[in-house]
Every structure is written in C-alpha cells, then in structure tokens.
Amino acid sequence: MKIAFISYEYPPDTACGGIATYVRQAVSMLSNKGHYIEVFSGSFNENKIQKDNQVIIHRIKASKRQEFTKQVGTIFAQRYQQIKFDVLEAPEIGAEAAEAIKLVPEIPLVVKLHTPSYVLQELFYTPPSFQMKLRRYFGALRRGNIPKPFHNYSYNPDNDLERIYTLKADEITAPSLAIANKLNIDWQVDKQKVIHLPNPYIPSQKLLDIPIKTQTNIITFIGRLEIRKGILDLAKAIPLILNKEPKTKFRFVGSSLPSPNPKLDMHQYLEKKLKLFLPSLEFIGNLPLEKIPSILAETDICVFPSIWENFPYVCLEAMSAGRGIVGSSAGGMAELLDGGKVGKLVPPKSPKSIAKAVIELLQNPEERMKLGEAARQRVLSQYNLERIGALQEASYLRAIEKRQALGARNIAELPQPIYIQT
C-alpha cells in the first residue's frame, strides 16, 4: 500500500510528545513490511523534503500546530496528484487532515485517537477559588471596569470540530479501550465504529539489556512536571515514603511546566514544598530519548501517577527495562500493566495509595523483580511489530474498502479546517 501520514509531530524536528513517538514507530513498522510511506509533518526551522531510509518526509515550517494545519492540506493534495496514496492516517487533535480530505475527498481516512483537545482542557481546568474571584472582582472595580461573571468550564460535543472531523473518518482507531469508552460517552460514538488498535512499540536493545535485579533504592518519575502527570500527588507521597524508607532517593526527569504558584515553575514549586527533604531529591530536567536507558538502569521503581493517560510510552519504556512500576489506574496505563498483573495500580489523586504501593515494592524486592520481568515479557508479546502490524494493515484495508463503496465525500458536508492552538 501507499500510505500517507499527516502529523505535526514527528522526530526529530517536532518530537513534542507521544504522537511523534507513535508515528515514528508506525512508519518504521509499515516500511519494514514493504509499504510505501510518506509523512507530512512540521518543522520549527524550514520547509524541506527529507528521506529517512525509504520514507519521504515533507517538513512544513510552522512554530505551532495551528500554522501547520493551515498549510498541510494544499501540500498533501499536490503530492496526492503525483503518488495517488491508497490511505491517509492523521490524529484527531487539531483535525490536522481536515483540509486534506476537503481537497482530496476520495482519500480513505483513518483517524487515530491520541487525546482530544477537550480532554486536555478538562484536565487542566481548575475552578477559581473564592479568593481568586474576590481579587478579580475588586481588581475590575479599581480599574473602573464592570466585573464580568465567572463561567465554569462547559463542553458541548455538538460544537467540537475535532469530533465532527473524526466522525468523517472511514476508520477510527483507539490505542486504548479507555479512550474508546470515554468518547463513546462524551462524543456519543458507537463503540462498533471505534476499533481497538494498540500502538506498536519497538523497545531498544539498551532497555532490554538492563538487568532485572537491581537494588538502588531510587524512585524515578519521567515526564513533564505538570499537574496532569500527577506530580503534586507524588510530592505529597514522598514524606510518607521517607518516613518508612528514609534511604530512598527520588529522581525527576522532564521539563518543568507552570505550577499552582504563578511565580514558580513546577521544579521550583516542588523544591519549596519539599524543602525538608531536598537531600533525597534530584531534578535532572529534560533528557533526549537515548539517555533514558541509563536513567532506568539506576532505577528500582518508576512512578507514573497521571490523572489521565491514553497510551503512555514512558510506561512501555519502564516495562521494557524490567522496572517495578506504580502507575495510575485512570486511562490506558491500566491496560498496559494488564490490570495490575505486571505493575502496581493506584487511583489518581491518591498520595496515600502511591506511598503504600512504593513502600510495598521497596520492602519486597523479589516481588518488584518478578513484576519487572513480567512487564518486559508483556511488551515483547503484545506490542510487537508482527502482531500490531497485521492489525494496522487490516485497519487500512477496511478504510479503503469503505471509501471505495461510498465514493468521494460530499465537500459541502465536511467541517471547515480547525486551527486549534496547542
């Protein structure tokens, strides 16, 4: 098949998060299976065309996703006239392929669910406190303005253009049952229209070579230091853990985002909150992917207490390294950890549960190592290229068959391109 991907995120230029990791892994998998692949992606620096092995990458200069979404449709349509792609895959976030299917209405479209914008908005929304309302009210009066009423966050799926665009796809695929079930409720999408298709994952040999048996007493958090990742709950659990296991060390690997205190980033905020425990803490900052195996090799337990995740690659990396894992039961992480069979699951926003699970693994190293070995084997058996590759090929063929039966889309029924700032 001749397969096109539209994705603002693609390494190394726009390796922004999990979408970039997924597309890179999927492209490698499908190219190795003999398919012809082209990627239409973003770049912070320049417009260019690259070739990575047999894969052609069209880089579109865009500092933000919304700029990319405005431009990519025309570029894809021009290339389609030359190549005649069999199928196009794109993410739901930002509706990046909305213009492409408008300009090429006959193209079969597969939309891969990552995490829709409304889910992120829900997670980041914090209701204003009474004190905040008072400050804004009297601040407006001092400036001679009429205070505006506060509006709580509300969501109407009928006005969500990402939803409208996604429903125009010939196949909708979900890497986790969690995101499929959430959209079944929030977007009123028939479960039969969403296909559960886990993402492929190719662990590096460096991860697989890490010994299962370690005894470092190091607990590692890998990910952006932000509220959504459960970092504040981990911070509250640290004193509880150190009370029982005072020799424990905590490492934080990831870039620091805003904190509840507007004057401090999350790194500074955590240091202030945990000032009595600073000798037990280490903040490393953001690291390139190739440095992660060395961090995991020195780690006994990884903690990922996210409020919500769809298909977290950081968990798969820790599983491949055979680490003990304490992960959130909310979202797709519970599926990766096989319902708690290969790692400890804790409810989100529960520092006491985090502390209890970590202490149990610290005090029972044999259990930790047994879970680590089982986690590594699960990665190799469930997310390998052969298994996921066959499922993905079948998904594309269903989309092609459906679009051939329906014919070209009615352009008048298509949503306008969606330029969401993310």
What is 51-97 written as a DSSP string? EETTEEEEEEE-SSHHHHHHHHHHHHHHHHHHH--SEEEEESGGGTT
pLDDT of amino acid 143: 72
- Structural domain total, the chain: 2
In a domain, 210, yes or no: yes
47 and 108 both lie in a single domain: yes
210 and 326 both lie in a single domain: yes
In a domain, 263, yes or no: yes
253 and 221 both lie in a single domain: yes
397 and 368 both lie in a single domain: no
111 and 172 both lie in a single domain: yes
In a domain, 337, yes or no: yes
164 and 294 both lie in a single domain: no
Query: Which residue, 247, 246, 219, is CA-closest to 235?
Result: 219
266 and 343 both lie in a single domain: yes
pLDDT of amino acid 306: 95
105 and 75 both lie in a single domain: yes
In a domain, 55, yes or no: yes
* CATH code (residue 268): 3.40.50.2000
pLDDT of amino acid 420: 47
- Buried residues in 234-270 as b, exposed as e (16+ CB within 10 A): bbbbbebbbeeeeebbbbbbbebeebeeeebebbebb
193 and 240 both lie in a single domain: no
Q: Is the dihedral of CA 233, 234, 236, 237 positive or negative?
A: positive
The range of the structural domain enclosing residue 214 comes to 205-382
In a domain, 144, yes or no: no
276 and 324 both lie in a single domain: yes
- pLDDT tens across the length of the chain (422 residues): 999 999 999 999 888 778 999 999 999 999 999 999 999 999 998 999 999 889 999 999 998 888 999 899 999 999 999 999 999 999 999 999 999 999 999 999 999 999 898 887 877 655 555 566 566 656 666 777 766 655 556 778 888 889 999 999 999 999 999 999 999 989 988 878 899 999 999 899 999 999 999 999 999 999 999 999 999 999 999 999 999 999 999 999 999 999 999 899 999 999 999 999 999 999 999 998 899 999 999 999 999 999 999 999 999 999 999 999 999 999 999 999 999 999 999 999 999 999 999 999 999 999 999 999 999 999 999 999 999 999 999 999 999 999 999 999 887 666 665 544 44
178 and 299 both lie in a single domain: no
In a domain, 223, yes or no: yes
In a domain, 81, yes or no: yes
Q: What's the Cα-to-Cα distance from 36 to each of 72, 191, 374, 389, rounded to whole Å?
A: 20, 31, 35, 14
229 and 336 both lie in a single domain: yes
In a domain, 145, yes or no: no
